[in-house]
A and B are shown apart, each in its own frame.
Chain A
Amino acid sequence: MGRKLLLEKAHVEGIRHYDVYRREGGYRSVEKALKMQPTDIVEEVKKSGLRGRGGAGFPTGMKWSFLAKPDGVPRYLVCNADESEPGTFKDRYLMEFIPHILIEGMIVASYALGSNVSYIYIRGEYDWITDILEVAIAEAKQNGWLGKNILGSGFDCEMYVQRGAGAYICGEETALLESLEGKRGNPRIKPPFPAIKGLWDCPTVVNNVETLAAVVPIINEGSEAYAKIGIGKSTGTKLISACGNINKPGIYEIDMTISVEEFIYSDEYCGGIPNGKKLKACIPGGSSVPILPANLLLTTAKGEKRLMNYEGLSDGGFATGSMMGSGGFIVLDEDQCIVKHTYTLARFYRHESCGQCSPCREGTGWMEKILQRIEIGKGTMSDIDLLWDIQRKIEGNTICPLGDAAAWPVAAAIRHFRDEFEWHINNPEKCLTENYGLMHYADPIHVPA
């Protein structure tokens, strides 16, 4: 059993409420942090090796150190709780069951960054979780952890929750800031980055829920202890939300030293594939990252066991690897159709494109239509090349990464499953009733009979 830092107390009864959370050692990191210099906290987070848990994996301490500090201008911390990447539901779990760990981490981060008003931007659909967070913030305030002159340190901090209203794009940090300003979620052109010009043109840091929660164990146990967990540049623990065709969907905190095979088949984690089915493919880091067939998922191109961490999942680049992304782990069994699954993702990105950049606005709709016609048996061979061409023209040609996020799943599906696309085109009468199956994608470790 790996070390747990965030979910260690998840099953303590009543941990959602302040009294229990405090009794279990909650808010110790605030007591410790308020006696430190803000710059020392930033150094600690840098040394911990913590990387942004929202998807990009950018070093958190470095992001914090970029924050501009002009005199007389307020600075803001904004928590990105707009969790919307298909396959990802880890932040929801943290906020719903252990809301105080987020608030605790945000108080420490607010102090380190000099933010006297911090916001949690939560996706609009998490309506009931907004209530949970607001109760937790009120409890924290009643007990002196928020408000004026916290613990006599002279530091003031208020915290508010803001609900979005249904837009995946608002998970992109500049779109989130636009939304928080009461506008459409259109991403901004960068530079300037939010660290220089963010919320209301003031220097702003935007961090994911899990990232901010991870600040708590880093301060409590020290950056060295935190950095010792994991391997290489994958330090600490990572929450993985596992879903799709597995026996035990849910949230798992892993220490990033385990293999993908162990994660899927061990009873401690996903517990294998239901109904005796075989593994066909997996999207290991949220719908935007490349899908991998079973053989490349479990072992790298070099034939080594693939590990569940930033370096392991990206080993081989996009040719034979994928990405850690947000930790949204989607498993597909032998009965699943890659074309259909890719079509649902293309539809998702078409729906969520903000419409600002033409490659994304036009391209996502085009890809959806082509995938749909291949899926229903009306595709042609040239459609496959057309899809490839469209995704290539979206990637890298948009203001924000939604373009890449829409292009990569389509590219990877064609790269690894081209024969399944061709089968749809060659067998129009079969593709809605029959299943292409496993073919050569079979899991090399658990060899199909």
Chain B
Amino acid sequence: MIQFKETSLHKVNEIISRYPKGKQKSALLPVLHLAQVEFGGWLDVPVMDYVASLLSIEPIEVYEVASFYSMYNLKPVGKFVFEVCQTGPCMLNGSDQIIDYIKQQLNIGVGETTTDGLFTLKTVECLGACGYAPMMQFGKTYREHLTKEKVDAIIKECRAKAN
């Protein structure tokens, strides 16, 4: 059965309390973030149905939101997700070469996951780090001023964590 941990349930209630009575639907985006972290990095249909029941809204209201925003994954992703920015300012500073290098090192294409389930490579549009380009989102934070050496180090860091 799908169920948040006690601490997460507590967090969900705290989030709902931020809005006026009856406006608990406003908690949908934050609760989907929590669900994605807790239930394996993506939002499976039963997970979305569970969120709908928590917020007393229809499942379709969750699906339409989950499919609109690019940070919600609707299919499984690797343990580590590299989201490399490819918009103008990053492109000017060599993001194409960084994307090619990651593809080569991990032997996957954009949108793919390595066969060991460790890495997913995604390209994303502007993340607001244009002055520190090229960059990628890596979990909760950003990795900036990327070079081939830095990419190597990040991959190494991930493999060490996985072992």
Q: How far is the CB of A367 from chain B (nearest CB, A)?
A: 15
B9 at the A interface (CB under 8 A): no
B153 at the A interface (CB under 8 A): no
Task: Give every chain A residue within 8 A of B87 (Cβ-Cβ).
Answer: 86, 287, 344-345, 347-348
Is the beta-carbon distance between B133 and A243 smaller than 8 angstroms? yes
Given known A162-B29, A163-B30, A352-B125, contact A184–B64 (CB-CB < 8 A): yes
B137 at the A interface (CB under 8 A): yes
Is the beta-carbon distance between A165 and B32 smaller than 8 angstroms? yes
Chain A minimum-CB-distance residue to B64: A184
Task: Give every chain A residue within 8 A of B27 (Cβ-Cβ).
Answer: 182
A158 to B17, CA, bound (A): 12
Query: At the interface with chain B, which of A42-50, A245-253, A381-389?
Result: A245-253
**What is the 8 Å Cβ interface bit string for chain B, positions 62-89, against chain A (1 contact, 0 not)?**
0011001111100000000000001111
Q: Interface SS of chain A: helix, strand, loop or mixed?
A: mixed
B70, B137, B141, B142: the one contacting A167 at CB < 8 Å is B70
Is the beta-carbon distance between A242 and B70 smaller than 8 angstroms? no
A242 to B86, CA, bound (A): 17
Task: Give every chain A residue within 8 A of B126 (Cβ-Cβ).
Answer: 84-87, 168, 287, 348
Task: Give every chain A residue within 8 A of B137 (Cβ-Cβ).
Answer: 125
- Bin chain A's interface residue count: 35 or more
Q: How far is the CB of A440 from chain B (nearest CB, A)?
A: 22
Chain B minimum-CB-distance residue to A160: B18
Is the beta-carbon distance between A165 and B72 smaller than 8 angstroms? yes
Task: Give every chain B residue within 8 A of A340 (Cβ-Cβ).
Answer: 91
**What is the 8 Å Cβ interface bit string for chain B, positions 19-56, against chain A (1 contact, 0 not)?**
01001011111101100000000000000000000010
Given known A125-B127, A249-B131, A351-B125, contact A182–B65 (CB-CB < 8 A): yes
A180 to B26, CA, bound (A): 6
Chain A minimum-CB-distance residue to B88: A344
Is the beta-carbon distance between A125 and B128 smaller than 8 angstroms? yes
A181 at the B interface (CB under 8 A): yes
A162 to B29, CA, bound (A): 8
Task: Give every chain B residue within 8 A of A244 (Cβ-Cβ).
Answer: 89, 92-93, 130
A198 at the B interface (CB under 8 A): no
Given known A123-B128, A127-B141, A341-B88, contact A166–B69 (CB-CB < 8 A): yes
A164 at the B interface (CB under 8 A): yes
Central interface residue in A127, A165, A347, A348, by most chain B CB within 10 Å: A165
Is the beta-carbon distance between A328 and B130 smaller than 8 angstroms? yes
Is the beta-carbon distance between A181 and B23 smaller than 8 angstroms? yes
A183 at the B interface (CB under 8 A): yes
Chain A minimum-CB-distance residue to B57: A182
Q: How far is the CB of A418 from chain B (nearest CB, A)?
A: 20
A184 to B25, CA, bound (A): 12
Mark out the residues of chain B between 128 and 158 whose CB falls within 8 Å of any chain A CB in the assembled complex: 128-133, 137, 140-142
B29, B64, B92, B125: the one contacting A348 at CB < 8 Å is B125
Task: Give every chain A residue within 8 A of B140 (Cβ-Cβ).
Answer: 127-128
Is the beta-carbon distance between A181 and B88 smaller than 8 angstroms? no
Mark out the residues of chain A between 211 and 240 whose CB falls within 8 Å of any chain B CB in the assembled complex: none
A87, A163, A167, A347: the one contacting B33 at CB < 8 Å is A163
Task: Give every chain B residue within 8 A of A242 (Cβ-Cβ).
Answer: 131
A92 at the B interface (CB under 8 A): yes
A83 at the B interface (CB under 8 A): yes
A119 to B23, CA, bound (A): 14
Chain A minimum-CB-distance residue to B137: A125
Given known A165-B72, A344-B88, A351-B125, contact A182–B131 (CB-CB < 8 A): no
Is the beta-carbon distance between A84 and B128 smaller than 8 angstroms? yes
Q: How far is the CB of A272 from chain B (nearest CB, A)?
A: 16
Q: How far is the CB of A332 from chain B (nearest CB, A)?
A: 6
A361 to B55, CA, bound (A): 31
A89, A92, A249, A344: the one contacting B91 at CB < 8 Å is A344
Q: How far is the CB of A349 from chain B (nearest CB, A)?
A: 9
Q: How far is the CB of B28 from chain A (nearest CB, A)?
A: 4
Q: How far is the CB of B106 from chain A (nearest CB, A)?
A: 22
A344 to B96, CA, bound (A): 11
A377 at the B interface (CB under 8 A): no
A244 to B92, CA, bound (A): 6
A185 at the B interface (CB under 8 A): yes
A77 to B111, CA, bound (A): 39
Chain A minimum-CB-distance residue to B18: A160
Is the beta-carbon distance between B130 and A330 smaller than 8 angstroms? yes
**What is the 8 Å Cβ interface bit string for chain A, positions 177-194, against chain B (1 contact, 0 not)?**
001111111000000000
Chain A minimum-CB-distance residue to B72: A165
Task: Give every chain B residue within 8 A of A87 (Cβ-Cβ).
Answer: 88-89, 126, 130
A167 to B91, CA, bound (A): 20
A336 at the B interface (CB under 8 A): yes
Is the beta-carbon distance between B131 and A89 smaller than 8 angstroms? yes
15 contacts between A and B (CB under 8 A): A86-B88, A86-B89, A119-B18, A124-B29, A124-B69, A165-B70, A166-B70, A182-B28, A182-B29, A182-B57, A182-B65, A249-B133, A251-B131, A330-B88, A344-B86
Closest 9 CB pairs of A and B: A165-B69, A182-B28, A249-B131, A166-B70, A166-B71, A243-B130, A182-B25, A86-B126, A184-B68
Q: A residues near B, CB below 8 A?
A: 74, 83-89, 92, 117, 119, 123-128, 158, 160, 162-168, 179-185, 200, 241-245, 249-251, 283, 287, 328, 330, 332, 336, 340-341, 344-345, 347-348, 351-352, 354
